[in-house]
Structure 1
Amino acid sequence: MSLPPTDLLQRFGVSAPELVAETARAKVWRVRRGSGAWAALKYYPAGHMGNEASGLDYLERCEGAVAVRVFERSADAVLMEWLEGPSLGDLARAKGAEAADHGVTDVAARLCATRISGAGLLPVSTVMSPLRDASFTSPEAQDAQGVARACLDQLQCGVGVDVALHGDLHHDNIIQTAQGLRAFDAKGLVGPRAYELANAFRHPRGCRAHAADPQVIRRRAMMWGRVAGCTAREQLHWAIAKLLLSMLWSGQEALDDRMLLRHMLRVAKSGLQI
């Protein structure tokens, strides 16, 4: 079993490491703090956190309000609260996604109500800028480019108020703990509030039939638009732009993404204004 460097355990005053996750970028251990409580120790062997640093900045500023608590961090590691429980994605896959949608809504609303500084966080305009010159082949993606460019123009013109955002808030990044719902794995962005739940439209994983249901798309646009303080149509436009960006990042225009995009575009064109 992979163990963390000894000096890392000493640095954070933790013990009894159990490896729970490993990616090309980082390793995560469940560890014991001095008090005996469990915590999560995430280590970046490259010596830096890369683009994950902005997400940790955001989580630190939340100070535990509906999000995982950050205890300590250094250039190459972070010690966080250990979250025990199923994700909303797990609950959706086991019991149905509608109730999980309401859980996402609740967390987003509570985060929106928390005053968090956006200083130094990654701008949404930077994240979405690759869409400006992107080229797509499928009819759905090409149709969505007009919507995405309108969102980019809005960013460029500075329309609306920019706020601190989790940046990747969706069902599989929210855990149902004994103490309530907690968000984690933030990107730490600053931009329009309608971006916050844009990625949630294609989640939870494994529930694509639910996500592609036009009635669900409409309901989500209305519900999440109210959280963002915008119209349902504007909220859905940001979701379309984010899905297009995800397709660009993946390097493919997968059939299920194209199907979801097609349904989202149809709902957006149906006079959705609420």
Structure 2
Amino acid sequence: MLKVLTDRGAKVGDMIGAEILSLWDGNGAVKLIDRTGNAMLLEWLPGPSLREKAPCGQDQMAAKVISELSLKLRLSKADGFIELKDHFGGALPKAEISGFPEPYRDAFGRAQTMWQALLRTTEEMCLMHGDLNHDNILWSDRGWVVIDPKGVVADPCYEFSVVFRGPVGEEARAAKPERILELAELLARGANLDRTRILQFGFVHVAMSLAYHFTRGSISETDMAIFQAFDSLQLPVPG
């Protein structure tokens, strides 16, 4: 497959994905065959995607695949990749809470506090996919592999933050606190990580995404519902 970036894609750094694909060299990821300028030649993967293979609430199967891939893809910190503190342009810590919808201001204040505490208490920084959702995982002749990495450097617990928002088509279930708790438990066991910290990163990630869109005058009703579900868990502030 030939992937040619638009000017916007090149501007936001999508070619960083080629760098990390080169590092993975096909181990748990689509193979990068060649690259030049704003174009990448990639291995063709017909799929299906994980969303297609694990629909209708099959979180146990999906969590097993995602956690195993996260372990395979995780690399020691590398230069040239964006750190979590700069992800989404640092939208959450820069956000003026007074400009947010009034019913959600306290929750965003809690998310800002949580964000700073998570960054302060991070003990290990790893290079990871950064957008490990169900649609970015495809079946291949060597098993499940990922596509479209962002190449984020962060605490390993952050890798699962986008998982709580999917899969596409199950938004109502994604906003249920009991589903969030169960999914976090599955991911924590699969990747041998702390369940509470995975939840904390899930909370701040959806807050960060909302803050990014608020500053541009838009709102995601799905993200807002998930954000409220996370806030209802009354997660402790780390450290």
- Give the TM-score normalised by the residue count of structure 2: 0.83
Q: Deviations over 1:182-231 (max 9, x none)?
A: 10110011111111111111111111123223232112222323456542
1:138 CA drift (Å): 5.0
What's 2:179 paired with? 216
Indicate whether 1:265 and 2:231 are aligned.
yes
1:116 CA drift (Å): 5.1
Alignment-mate amino acid for residue 198 of structure 1: S
Q: Deviations over 1:35-59 (max 9, x none)?
A: xxxxx11113549833112222111
1:236 CA drift (Å): 0.7
SS in structure 1 at match of 2:14: helix
What's 2:62 paired with? 100
Q: Deviations over 1:125-160 (max 9, x none)?
A: 1115221121322534641432343223442x4731
Indicate whether 1:61 and 2:23 are aligned.
yes
Give identity over the alignment, percent: 25
What's 1:233 paired with? 196
What's 1:139 paired with? 103
Q: Answer with 1 or 2: which has the greater Rg.
A: 1
What's 2:166 paired with? 203
What's 1:110 paired with? 72
Q: State how far apart, in whole Å, the 2-side matches of 1:177 and 1:166 are.
A: 18
Tell me how large the CA RMSD over aligned residues is. Answer: 2.6
- Give the TM-score normalised by the residue count of structure 1: 0.74
Q: Which has the higher helix share?
A: 2
Q: 2:152 aligns with which of 189, 202, 207?
A: 189
What's 1:32 paired with? none
Q: State how far apart, in whole Å, the 2-side matches of 1:43 and 1:216 are.
A: 38
What's 1:255 paired with? 221
User: Residue 65 of structure 1 contacts residue 111 of structure 1 at CA under 8 Å; is this kept in 2?
Assistant: yes
Q: State how far apart, in whole Å, the 2-side matches of 1:56 and 1:268 are.
A: 39
Alignment coverage as a number of residue pairs:
228
SS in structure 2 at match of 1:197: helix
User: Residue 109 of structure 1 contacts residue 227 of structure 1 at CA under 8 Å; is this kept in 2?
Assistant: no
Unaligned runs of 5+ in 1: 1-39
Alignment-mate amino acid for residue 82 of structure 1: W
SS in structure 2 at match of 1:160: coil
User: Residue 70 of structure 2 contacts residue 128 of structure 2 at CA under 8 Å; is this kept in 1?
Assistant: no
Q: Call closer, same or farther: CA 1:245–1:102 in 2, change over 3 Å.
A: same
What's 1:22 paired with? none
What's 1:78 paired with? 40
User: Residue 55 of structure 1 contacts residue 189 of structure 1 at CA under 8 Å; is this kept in 2?
Assistant: no
User: Residue 77 of structure 2 contacts residue 153 of structure 2 at CA under 8 Å; is this kept in 1?
Assistant: no
Q: Which has the higher strand share?
A: 1
Q: State how far apart, in whole Å, the 1-side matches of 2:232 and 2:94 are.
A: 24
Indicate whether 1:246 and 2:209 are aligned.
yes
User: Residue 127 of structure 2 contacts residue 152 of structure 2 at CA under 8 Å; is this kept in 1?
Assistant: yes
User: Residue 164 of structure 1 contacts residue 188 of structure 1 at CA under 8 Å; is this kept in 2?
Assistant: yes
